[in-house]
Chains A and B, each alone.
Chain A
Amino acid sequence: MHEGEQAAQASINKALIPEQKIAALRDMLRIRRFEQLSLKFYQQGKMGGFLHLYIGQESVAVAAASLMSGQDEMITAYRDHGHALAVGMSMEECMAELFGKATGCSKGKGGSMHFFAPDKHYWGGHGIVGGQVPLGLGLAFALKYKNIPGCALAFLGDGAINQGPVSESLNLASLFDLPLVIIIENNGYSMGTSLARSSSIKNYLAERAEGYNMAWDTANGSDFYELRAKLHHIMERARKESKPCILEVATYRYYGHSVADANAKKYRTTEEIEAYKANHDPISLWQEQLLKEKILTEADIEKLDEAAKEEAAASVAFAEASPWPDPASIFEDVYSQIDQGTHFFS
């Protein structure tokens, strides 16, 4: 059997009902349309700082979120809009955060790189490359400490794997038998540095797991079934046996490192980008799959896409209409006791 078909036959995928398959497409489309619109308004000067687009990688966060049990936790880096929408954060709160408005998910205090939703088991959104991985270790530690049969998903990039604290965390996760699932979203580049120029290990980044007595695997990020099958397998092991592992996902970002990346097409060729879009786009491939399975028609897909665009447009309207944070709020959310008024010095 062809590998893709095998993945489709995996029990976790066979268990999917059509509504769930459609929901996955809807989520991917929502991420793409949300980000495309955010790009437009970024370019109009409506946002500050950086805007790291996830476009091209949507399947990864959506597949992972689709497998979260309600007792699993997720954390990622600064390319975090996709994960945020995938776990169920609203476009409105996310767009308003990008606009720096008081109605943003972090009240305008975090920005693009720092989205959080602890009620959805989503712990950010972290701007320091690799710095979120020790936190993911802590999420996994807390699950085990509290005897919760969940796992912690910690995402990082192909560049981030070279950070010292990441290596420390791999060792600790393995030594302590923590239910940590490390997902490397290998999009081939860390800013303008290709993999060949950043990693001494030439086959797979995930091979580093072997140095820590840890299991590892790889997955094709543009194949939604494969992603789910492989993720399910390692998430189950993490939950049941409390063992960490690394999954390296081959994926690709279509835009520059951030919107401010003026060199986006200098360190890679236009042909390369176009080839990915044409042959590996996770959304197109999933759409084809759903057409083949006769779950959706072209017209249905069009409707989903229109709905995603409308939702994104509405989120912009919401963000535009929202107030700026009150200057007094600068001093709020620094210390819990001061916010609660239980501290007598402020």
Chain B
Amino acid sequence: MPIISYKQALNDAFAEEMTRDESVFLIGEEVAEYNGAYKVTEGLWKRFGSKRVIDTPISEAAFLGLGVGAAMMGLRPVVELMFWSFAYVGFDQIINNAGCVRYMSGGLINVPMVIRGPANGGTAVGATHSHTPENFLANTPGLKVVSPSTPYDAKGLMISSIRDNDTVCFMESTLLYGNEGEVPEGSYTIPLGVADIKREGTDLSLIAHGPAVLTSLAAAEILAAEHGISVEVVDLRSIRPLDEETILNSVAKTHRALLVDENKPFCGVSAQIAALIAEKAFDELDAPVTRVTALDAPAIYSFPLEKIQLPTADRVVAKALSLF
């Protein structure tokens, strides 16, 4: 199987979907002539032209709203946010319009749009550029939220998201763009709402999404090699819809759950997973549900500290050991 980067996997997904469906177009800041701030859309403007790959001025509210309006009319916009952190200036368009129009119209109007871009800390750009708003978005019934951790998942989930009839908020990571992995040639889909067991184990479930999946896998290695603990790593892949079944099955098998989350802890994604386990798998637990999340402060700039503000394999290992 070909080995390609996460970024290339996304790029292939766009190219394949744009070839398949005339109604798919890409829009955002620097996506066309500049080839994308992170080169995720590289070459697509040259290939598909200015009608399908559209540069905008720095007007997130207007071009997010443009996407919603165009989607209401049946087009399939893929709107790039240079950073998900910039979504906040256009939040009204995402939450009130993309998120609520279907409901408020009694189902008469669909908004088949993808909003995508990186949503991660860890790159020493300070608080304004390091947000992970998946919890805000997932708190909005009407929106879907996905966060792939591998090139394979990135492509399959992107194709599903483009074909989805609702708005999908697609959270990528600048730190994953360069990662390589096996990706089959041609189109394939990964359904939204299906988690993936990235490593099987019997003693402890680490449950994560996005870059925290890789942190969890690294921690699992250490726990196995140095402590003889068999760890299962559940990659949520999709935060809303959420694959409750896979989470609960894993907890029923290992009886211990540790949630690893780059989102902030307060009302964050991990809080939702913890509530789910408490409600539906309480009797399975041999230890309290615990979490390793971003430390609860705005993202710090100073890079040695930023590294420890986000979940690290060491923090995960230490927390895991406390459960036995």
Chain B residues, Cβ within 8 Å of A168: 57, 59, 61-62
Known: A172-B57, A336-B110. A106 touches B105 (CB 8 A): yes
Q: Kindly state whether residue A139 has any CB partner on chain B within 8 Å.
A: yes
Give the chain B neighbours of A165 by CB distance below 8 A: 61-62, 65, 90, 92-93
Interchain CB contact (< 8 A) of B68 among A128, A135, A343: A135
Given A73-B73, A138-B66, A138-B69 in contact, is the A335-B105 Cβ separation under 8 Å? no
Q: Does B289 contact A (CB under 8 A)?
A: no
Whether the Cβ atoms of A336 and B165 lie closer than 8 Å is yes
Nearest A residue to B61 via CB reads A165
What are the residues of chain A within 8 A of B109 when measuring CB–CB? 116, 118, 123
Cα–Cα, bound, A142→B70 (Å): 5
User: Is B242 in contact with A345, judged by CB distance below 8 angstroms?
Assistant: yes
Is B285 interfacial (CB-CB < 8 Å)?
A: no
Q: A110 to chain B: which residues have CB within 8 Å? A: 104-106
User: Which residue of A is nearest B54, CB measured?
Assistant: A176
- A131–B97 CB distance below 8 A: yes
A334 contacts B103, C-beta separation under 8 Å: yes
Type the 1/0 row for A111-130, where 1 means its CB is closer than 8 Å to any CB of B: 00010111000011111100
Contacts of A124 in B (CB 8 A): 101, 104-105
Highest count of chain B CB atoms <10 Å: which of A136, A139, A345: A345
B96 close to A (CB within 8 Å)? yes
Size bracket, chain B contacts: 35 or more
Considering the complex, give the chain A residue whose CB is closest to the CB of B75.
Answer: A142
| B64: Cβ under 8 A from any A Cβ | yes
**B90 to A: closest C-beta gap in Å:** 8
* Total residues of chain A contacting the partner, CB 8 A: 51
Which residue in chain B gives the minimum CB-CB distance to A329? Answer: B106
Contact of B69 among A108, A123, A175 (CB under 8 A): A123
**B25 part of interface (Cβ distance < 8 Å):** yes
Contacts A142-B74, A345-B193 hold; do A105 and B64 have CB atoms under 8 A apart? no
Q: Is A333 an interface residue, CB under 8 A from the partner?
A: yes
CA distance A223 to B96 in the complex (A): 35
A 325-344 to B, binary, CB cutoff 8 A, 1 in contact else 0: 00000001111110100011
Q: How far is the CB of B146 from chain A (nearest CB, A)?
A: 13
Shortest beta-carbon distance, A326 to chain B, in Å? 13
**Is A70 interfacial (CB-CB < 8 Å)?**
no
A104-B106, A336-B166, A339-B107 known; A123 and B72 CB under 8 Å?
Answer: yes
Q: Is the CB of B69 within 8 A of A131?
A: no
Contact B243 A345 (CB under 8 A): yes
Q: Which residues of B contact A136 (CB under 8 A)?
A: 69
A128 with B72: CB separation less than 8 A: no
B63 within 8 A of A: yes
Q: Is the CB of B141 within 8 A of A135?
A: no
Given contacts A106-B106, A141-B69, contact A171 B62 (CB under 8 A): yes
Does B142 lie at the interface of the complex (its beta carbon under 8 Å from any beta carbon of A)?
yes
The reply to whether B70 and A145 contact each other, CB–CB distance below 8 Å, is yes
Given A138-B65, A145-B51, are A171 and B75 neighbors across the interface (CB < 8 Å)?
no
A119 to B139, CA, bound (A): 31
Q: How far is the CB of A239 from chain B (nearest CB, A)?
A: 16
| A131-B65, A345-B242 known; A333-B102 Cβ under 8 A | yes
Is there a chain B Cβ closer than 8 Å to A107's Cβ? Answer: yes
Q: With the chains together, A164 CA to B91 CA distance in Å?
A: 13
**Residues of chain B with a CB closer than 8 A to A343's CB:** 193, 241
Closest B residue by C-beta to A136:
B69
Determine the chain A residues whose CB is within 8 A of the CB of B68 once the complex forms. 134-135, 138
CB < 8 Å: which of B62, B103, B193 contacts A137?
B62
In angstroms, Cα B255 to Cα A138, docked, is: 50
Residue pair A131, B96 in contact (C-beta under 8 Å): yes
Q: Which one of B63, B66, B70, B90 has the highest number of Cβ atoms from chain A below 10 Å of its Cβ?
A: B66
Q: B164 contacts the other chain (Cβ, under 8 Å)?
A: yes
Instruction: Please name all residues of chain A whose beta carbon is closer than 8 Å to the beta carbon of B90 when the two chains form the complex.
Output: 165
A277 contacts B by Cβ under 8 Å: no
Query: CB of B249 within 8 A of chain A?
Result: no
Query: Which of B66, B72, B96, B165 lies in contact with A127, CB distance below 8 A?
Result: B96
Binary interface encoding of chain A residues 30-74 relative to chain B, with 1 for a CB under 8 A from any of its CBs, else 0: 000000000000000000000000000000000000000000010
For B97, the chain A residues whose CB sits under 8 A away are 126, 131, 134-135
Contacts of B63 in A (CB 8 A): 134, 172
Tell me which residues from 16 to 72 in chain B have a Cβ below 8 Å from any Cβ of chain A.
25, 51, 56-57, 59, 61-72
Whether A237 sits at the interface, judged by CB under 8 Å, is no
Residue in contact with A336 in the complex, picked from B57, B67, B102, B244, CB distance below 8 Å? B102
Asked if A337 and B165 make an inter-chain contact with CB atoms under 8 angstroms apart, the answer reads yes
User: Is residue A208 within 8 Å, beta carbon to beta carbon, of the partner chain?
Assistant: no
Q: Is there a chain B Cβ closer than 8 Å to A319's Cβ?
A: no
Q: Name the residue on A nearest B141 (C-beta).
A: A334
B103 proximity list for chain A (CB < 8 A): 109, 333-334
A106-B108, A118-B109 known; A335 vs B66 contact (CB < 8 Å): no
Assess the A135–B65 pair: CB atoms within 8 A. yes
C-alpha spacing A199/B291, complex, angstroms: 51
Which residues of B are found within 8 Å of A289, using beta-carbon distances?
Answer: none
Q: A131-B65, A336-B102 are in contact. List 7 more A-B contacts (CB 8 A).
A: A108-B106, A131-B93, A135-B69, A138-B66, A140-B69, A171-B59, A172-B59
Q: Provide 20 A-B residue pairs closer than 8 Å at the C-beta atoms, listed in order of the A residue.
A: A109-B106, A110-B104, A114-B104, A124-B104, A128-B92, A128-B96, A134-B63, A134-B93, A138-B66, A138-B71, A139-B70, A139-B73, A141-B66, A165-B92, A169-B62, A172-B63, A334-B142, A336-B166, A339-B107, A345-B193
